[in-house]
Amino acid sequence: MKYLWLKNTKDIAAGSQSVIFRKMRVMGIKSKVGISTVIIVVISGFLLPEKLVIPVLGASEKDWNHDTFWYEPWGASGVHKGIDIFSSNGTPVVSSSYGIVLYKGALSRGGNVVVVLGPKWRIHYYAHLKDISIGFGALVNTSGVLGSVGTTGNAKGKSAHLHYSILTLVHTYGE
Pick the closest to residue 149 from 104, 76, 95, 90 (CA basis).
90
Q: How many CB atoms lie within 10 A of CB 144?
A: 18
d(CA 47, CA 119): 8
Q: How far is CA 10 from CA 14, 18, 98, 122, in A?
A: 6, 12, 29, 22
Specify the pTM: 0.72
Q: Express each pLDDT in 78-88 by its tens digit.
A: 556 788 999 99
pLDDT higher at 28 or 90? 90
Q: How far is CA 4 from CA 29, 52, 117, 122, in A?
A: 10, 29, 16, 20
Q: Which CATH superfamily does the domain covering 61-168 fall into?
A: Glucose Permease (Domain IIA) (2.70.70.10)
Q: Express each pLDDT in 137-174 by its tens digit.
A: 899 999 999 999 999 999 999 999 999 999 887 776 65
Q: Express each pLDDT in 14-30 by its tens digit.
A: 333 444 445 445 555 44
pLDDT score at 42: 73
pLDDT score at 11: 36
Mean pLDDT value across the chain: 77
Is residue 120 very low, low, confident or very high in pLDDT (cuts 50, 70, 90)? Answer: confident
d(CA 175, CA 172): 7
Residues of the chain with pLDDT > 70, as a percent, come to 67
Q: Domains of the chain: which residue ranges? A: 10-47, 61-168
